[in-house]
């Protein structure tokens, strides 16, 4: 057997496998001999069937099977020995008039090779790593929310100043039909808020969406519509009132503080705001980190230049799935997956160059923390180590869960590496401005 490679270019190659009769003859004869021992053909005793008959009936099928085995075993061995880093799988070059009636065969396989490239994490960039600050307005709003949440709720028939109103926003043409609850101070125009005063349950109020709220993004929540639709939306909607409630706010005293955080953990409104600020900014850090990770990913995909064996990959996509794709379908699929493949290669290079690995202890420790957080949400604040490790063992016996958790662990490792090596500007913003930045509406200057 002889295997040779012709590099078409830096990312495409053709491997030729030549198989001679001496490579497969003994194997084919052995299989046919076993067939002969067990063949049950009318007119012949078991084991006495002429070999010529066995050869005629089974010879071609056995030949194809044994040659295919040789091909797969030796091609895979060659790829490993040559340390070829390929994309997809080798694609056999189809020969319409292939002749199986000769003794020696030649097979050709197309390969898509992983491109050579470098990743510069320290390159100049316009990336921003946001630090979200809970400002005074947000803290005061949170305190007011707590007072509402733990205060007394009183049903009313008529809307008065300071009431909350529940009802349905509707516009049949736009497919808007969403029940929501809002306070009257949410409207940008005080005259809109005044139009609710004196209205009763069952009354219908006509409104226009343009400038209805100070921030158009609030239309996403109140009307249940997508981000792309909210900017400059100018349609008439109705709001049908189905509930009016007044709140008697809870008193900010030690009884409320203890109910929220436990005995004597918080003893003043100032400490309450400090605790709220700490908790909010901890949540905000996770959101800011995720945006930073996404932004670095996009930056690396855009700035790390290398060619892919695109024509090879499109052909491979046509045959890789359970159901074959047409050339047009493969083109579409390739377009959708190209950036994902590029980042997969970039991520692999970054992991290799920075020796990022996931150990069993990494995975076990991460899983333990996830489980503890989940248990805390259900009131189990101090689970025993035995209980936690028992759940960890069950989770890690599930391959799908291990794969999912491993991706999360590696994502954290990549985030820490990017924080350390990517030269991004740190920018403090309010949560409101961060949301604008999420949708590309805030300057990074």
DSSP string, 364-401: HHHHHHHHHHHHHHTT--S--HHHHHHHHHHHTT-HHH
CA–CA separation, 279 and 303 (whole Å): 36
How many angstroms separate the CA atoms of 277 and 285, rounded? 12
The three-point CA angle 170-173-178 to 5° equals 25
* Cα 350 from Cα 205, distance rounded (Å): 58
* Residue 430, strand partner residues: 133
Alpha-carbon span 345 to 307, nearest angstrom: 12
Would strands 12-19 and 86-92 be described as parallel, antiparallel, or unpaired? unpaired
358: CB partners within 8 A, 6+ apart: 406, 409, 410, 413
Give the other-Cβ count within 10 Å of 46's Cβ. Answer: 11
Q: What is the pLDDT of residues 215-225, one digit of tens each?
A: 888 899 899 98
Q: What is the pLDDT of residue 394?
A: 92
Tokens of 178: 């969403």
pLDDT digits (tens, 9 = 90+) for 62-98: 999 999 999 999 999 999 999 999 999 999 988 778 8
Q: Which CATH number fits the domain 267-438, given the four candidates 2.60.40, 1.10.260, 3.40.50, 1.10.3120?
A: 1.10.3120
**19 SS3 class:** strand
CATH T-level assignment (fold) for domain 152-248? Chitinase A; domain 3 (3.10.50)
* Per-residue pLDDT at 443: 57
Print pLDDT tens along the chain (445 aa): 899 999 999 999 999 999 999 999 999 999 888 888 877 777 777 777 788 888 888 889 999 999 999 999 999 999 999 999 999 999 998 877 888 889 999 999 999 999 999 999 999 999 999 999 999 999 999 999 899 889 998 999 999 998 999 999 999 988 999 999 999 989 999 999 999 999 999 999 999 999 999 888 889 989 998 888 888 889 999 999 999 999 889 999 999 999 998 899 999 999 999 999 999 999 999 999 999 999 999 999 999 999 999 999 999 999 888 888 999 999 999 999 999 999 999 999 999 999 999 999 999 999 999 998 888 877 777 888 888 899 999 998 999 999 999 999 999 999 999 999 999 999 999 998 998 888 776 655 5
Within the chain, all domains assigned CATH 3.30.70.1050 are found at 2-113
Distance CA 372, CA 370 (A): 6
d(CA 295, CA 10): 30
Least Cα distance to 82 among 111, 116, 118 occurs for 111
Query: Cα separations (Å) of 105 from 1, 65, 371?
Result: 10, 14, 58
Cα dihedral 180→182→188→190 (10° resolution): 130
User: Start-end ranges of CATH 3.10.50.30 in the chain?
Assistant: 152-248
Cα–Cα distance for residue pair 329/337, rounded to 1 Å: 12
- Phi and psi dihedrals of 119, rounded to 5? -120, 125
Residue where the block lists tokens 């009354």: 203
Residue appearing with tokens 């065969």: 105
Torsion of CA 90, 96, 100, 103, to 10 degrees: -70
| 3-class SS of residue 237 | strand
Q: Are 29 and 119 in contact (CB under 8 A)?
A: no
Q: What residues form DSSP beta bridges with 236?
A: 208
pLDDT in the model for residue 383: 84
| Largest interatomic CA distance in the chain | 104
Residue at token pair 């900017």: 231
SS3 156: strand
Q: Which of 74, 62, 76 is nearest to 27 (CA)?
A: 62
Q: Which fold has domain 2-113?
A: Alpha-Beta Plaits (3.30.70)
Ranges in the chain annotated CATH 1.10.3120: 267-438
Give the model's pLDDT for residue 411: 93
């Amino acid at each position: 057997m002889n295997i040779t490679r012709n590099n078409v270019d830096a990312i495409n190659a053709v491997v030729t496998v030549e198989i001679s009769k001496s490579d497969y003859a003994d194997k084919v004869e052995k299989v046919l001999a076993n067939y002969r021992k067990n063949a049950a053909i009318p007119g012949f005793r078991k084991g006495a069937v002429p070999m010529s008959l066995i050869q005629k009936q089974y010879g071609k099928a056995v030949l194809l099977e044994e040659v295919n085995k040789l091909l797969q075993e030796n091609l895979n061995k060659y790829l490993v020995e040559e340390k070829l880093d390929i994309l997809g799988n080798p694609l056999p070059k189809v020969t319409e008039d292939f002749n199986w009636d000769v003794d020696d065969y030649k097979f050709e396989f197309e390969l898509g090779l992983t491109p050579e490239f470098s990743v510069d994490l320290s390159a100049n960039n316009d990336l921003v790593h946001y630090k979200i600050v809970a400002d005074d307005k947000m803290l005061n709003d949170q305190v007011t929310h707590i007072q509402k949440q733990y205060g007394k709720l009183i049903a009313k028939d008529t809307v008065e100043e300071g009431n909350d109103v529940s009802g349905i926003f509707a516009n049949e043409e736009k497919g808007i039909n969403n029940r929501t609850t809002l306070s009257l101070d949410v409207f940008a125009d005080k005259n809109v808020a005044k139009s609710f005063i004196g209205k009763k349950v069952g009354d219908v109020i006509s409104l226009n969406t343009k400038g209805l709220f100070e921030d158009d993004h609030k239309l996403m929540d109140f009307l249940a519509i997508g981000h792309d639709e909210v900017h400059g939306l100018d349609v008439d909607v109705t709001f049908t009132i189905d509930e009016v409630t007044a709140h008697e706010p809870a008193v900010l005293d030690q009884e409320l503080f203890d109910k929220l955080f436990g005995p004597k953990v918080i003893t003043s409104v100032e400490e309450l705001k400090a605790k709220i600020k700490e908790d909010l900014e901890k949540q905000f850090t996770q959101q800011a980190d995720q945006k930073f990770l996404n932004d670095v990913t996009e930056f690396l995909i855009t700035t790390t230049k290398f060619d892919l064996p695109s024509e090879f990959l499109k052909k491979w996509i046509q045959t890789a799935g359970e159901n074959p794709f047409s050339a047009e379908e493969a083109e579409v699929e390739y377009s959708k997956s190209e950036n994902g493949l590029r980042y997969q290669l970039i991520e692999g290079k970054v992991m290799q160059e920075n020796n990022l690995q996931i150990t069993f202890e990494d995975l076990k420790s991460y899983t333990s923390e996830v489980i503890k957080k989940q248990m805390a949400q259900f009131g189990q604040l101090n689970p025993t180590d035995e209980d936690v490790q028992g759940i960890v063992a069950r989770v890690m016996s599930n391959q799908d869960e291990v794969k999912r958790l491993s991706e999360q662990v590696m994502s954290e490792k990549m985030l820490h590496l990017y924080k350390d090596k990517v030269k991004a500007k740190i920018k403090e913003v309010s949560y409101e401005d961060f949301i604008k930045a999420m949708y590309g509406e805030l300057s990074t200057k």
